[in-house]
Amino acid sequence: MSLINEIFYHEGKNRPGLYILVTAGLYFALLATNRASAVLDYLKKKSEVQVEDVIGREDPDKFYEINRQRAYLEIDGKPVEDYFKEIKLEKEK
């Protein structure tokens, strides 16, 4: 008897059969769907601009966090370029 016959046809014997195959397929499909949903939620959260006072003095900073590294948009309420120009001018004085 071929493998396909062994899987799909019981013939009165205790064999895996179609029901077990379908159940396993549904289980793995649901598992993949749950994992994909978790990944999408993670990416959606990480694609949002984060606002937190991390660097500088009083105003909050805006940044993206990607793989535990931050890409700053603003520091102390100023664009990154302006913030570092200001620091450079302070050092030159």
Residues 31, 61, single domain; the answer is no
How sure is the predictor about 9, in pLDDT bands with cuts at 50, 70 and 90? low
Give the whole-angstrom CA distance, residue 21 versus residue 32: 17
Task: For 58-89, write each residue's pLDDT tens digit.
Answer: 788 998 887 788 888 999 888 989 988 988 88
Q: 71: domain range? A: 49-93
Residue 42: how many CA atoms within 13 Å on its side-chain side? 9
Tally of domains within the chain: 2
Residues 33, 54, single domain; the answer is no
- What's the whole-model pTM score? 0.47
Residues 69, 54, single domain; the answer is yes
**Beta bridge partner(s), residue 26:** none
Position 91, amino acid: K
Q: Is residue 74 left, alpha or beta, with left meaning phi > 0 and alpha meaning psi from -120 to 50? A: beta
Residues 29, 70, single domain; the answer is no
